[in-house]
Amino acid sequence: MNDLHALVNGLAHPRILVIGDLILDRYTWGNAERISPEAPVMVFHADREEVRLGGAASVAGLLRALEADVTLAGVTGDDDAGRALGTLFKEQGIRHEAVLRDPGRPTTSKTRYMGRAGKRHPQQILRVDREERRALDPNIERQLISAILDLVESHAAILVSDYAKGVCTPGLMSQVIDRAQRHGIPVLIDPARIADYTKYRRATLLAPNRVETEMATGTRIQIPGDARLPASMLAEKLNIATVLIKLDSEGMFLYQDGQEGRLYATRPRGVYDVTGAGDMVLAMMGLCQASKLSWEEAVPLANLAAGLEVEKLGVAPVTRAEIHVELARATGTFAPKLVTLKEMLLLADAYRGVRKSLVFTNGCFDLLHVGHATYLQEAAKLGDILVVAVNSDSSVRRLKGMNRPVIGEADRAGMVAALGCVHHVLVFEDDTPLELLRQLRPEVLVKGGTYAPEQVVGKEEVESYGGKVCVTRVIEGISTTDILAVARKPLQGN
């Protein structure tokens, strides 16, 4: 597991091109608690609506949450659903210059009605689809192929998400794979639920699920070990070296040409919604491949990310921070320790998602001593996750004078992070931690020293949302100032 921490830390921020069928997912939430007097049907009282990225667009959104630079290629209709997708692309920072509009076809959309009964978790009670399955108009197809081919060379990987809605035509797939091969760019494909996979020939990776594999090969997969035969059949028939078969709760089977293959099991999950698990596997495998990880390194990360995805409702983003937290839950370790504010905000959300409380403290920590260590150990006992904010060098100079700090900010942060009781350390520029507290909203704010609780900076902010403020005990005669004063005295001879 610690190796997986290192792999997550080693993920790059590559440019990835996603091609496929673009879908708008609509969610209508409401209560379903009575029968209509007009007919023996449920009455659904809608109270909230939401739109999300679906299909290939959801893969792009998941990649953005994983901090990749994403370009999306596909087709929408010239309609409200297509414009809603365009708005989501802009909001999520997805490049979409290769998304074309076709007035002759509707934007594929799926509207899910999520009903609550007795204030329990919502459940999907109906899905309404609007779509066109015919192949693209030849003129639109030519335009899309041209737009994609212009983009291939500037991306580290190409992901294809085929939902059989007409975008991934044989002609398009052939030209994209040819161009990618000439430039050494991997093409990873999540195939459609179709019987003929010929159009995917010579791709780098094929990642069907159990049902899709059975349909394409005519071979049943009753137990995980059965996956090797159909995987080898696909690899040989399609001239694809690597096949990854997704086996739902039984994990994933990785087959590489000429090898026996390997099953990667997954741990049991409280499955809330399987929507998006396949998209997450494709997104993580693509990110790993673009980051130069091997397939053997990528599959455990994809397995883990997909497991987190099924615990969410609908297609919802999984962040690198959430993956670190999940690894931490499995091992009892918490990494990475040295973080930026952006990373810490993501971690904070992830920790709260698993009901862990944050304890926050701050200081200069110049010449780390037993007083610091003692108060940090006490602080760690007040919650689940101890976050320490260390004043930057410029901040210390403003607070302590031009002769301080004695030790630079990177080394001071590193020494604090070396303490076993500390989970995360970040450096901040302000003279006070007030802005950090506003953003992180820790459950507990701790200060070490002779302060009274009402003197602690940020007390009002933390208490305003229900947090608490604590002051730890002081070890008399121990401070950085005292240590420096002793160090500056001339040595006395005998």
What tokens were used for 19?
């091609």
Number of residues written out for the chain? 494
| pLDDT of 271 over the 50 cut | no
Asked if 279 is an active-site residue, the reply is yes
User: What is the Cα–Cα distance from 11 to 449, expressed in whole angstroms?
Assistant: 40
- In order of their start, the domains of the chain are 2-22+52-106+132-331 (3.40.1190.20), 341-488 (3.40.50.620)
Gyration radius (Cα) of the chain, Å: 27
Q: Residue 193 carries which side chain, given as an amino acid letter?
A: R
DSSP output for 213-263: HHHHH----SSGGGGHHHHHHHHHHHT-SEEEEE-GGG-EEEEETTS--EE
Average pLDDT score over residue span 189-200: 97
Beta bridge partners, 20, equal: 161
Cis, peptide link before residue 191, omega less than 30° from 0? no
Q: Is the pLDDT of residue 359 over 60?
A: yes
Q: Which of 102, 162, 279, 366 is catalytic?
A: 279
User: Cα(377)–Cα(472) distance, rounded to whole angstroms?
Assistant: 10
Cβ atoms of 352 and 383 within 8 Å: the answer is no
The tens digit of pLDDT for each residue in 295-314 reads: 999 999 999 888 887 766 66
pTM comes to: 0.75
Candidate from 17-26, 47-56, 312-321, 460-469 with smallest mean pLDDT: 312-321
Convert the pLDDT of each residue in 309-348 to its tens digit: 776 666 678 888 888 877 776 655 555 788 889 888 878 8
* DSSP H helical ranges for 334-440: 341-353, 370-380, 393-400, 409-417, 434-440
Which of 9, 92, 17 has the alpha carbon at shortest distance from 53? Answer: 92
Under 8 Å between Cβ of 110 and 124 = no
Which whole number is the average pLDDT over 431-453? 88
The torsion defined by the Cα of 419, 420, 426 and 428, in degrees rounded to 10, comes to -40
Question: Residue 270 above 70 pLDDT?
Answer: no
Spatial distance between the Cα atoms of 201 and 118, rounded to a whole number of angstroms = 51
Task: Tell me the CA distances in angstroms from 145 to 166, 173, 217, 253, 465, one per residue in order.
Answer: 13, 9, 29, 32, 53
The mean pLDDT value for 414-439 works out to 92
DSSP state of 443: S
Q: What is the largest CA-CA distance in the chain?
A: 104
Q: Which pLDDT score, from 0 to 100, does residue 147 have?
A: 98
- Asked if 280 contacts 58 with a C-beta cutoff of 8 angstroms, the reply is no
Q: Is the pLDDT of residue 292 over 50?
A: yes
How far apart are alpha carbons 263 and 251 in whole angstroms?
Answer: 7
- Whether 86 contacts 78, CB under 8 Å: no
Q: What share of the chain is helix, strand, coil (3-state, %, to 5)?
A: 40, 25, 35
Residue 394 has pLDDT above 90, yes or no: yes
Can you list the positions of beta strands (E) in 36-143? 42-55, 69-77, 95-102, 108-116, 123-130
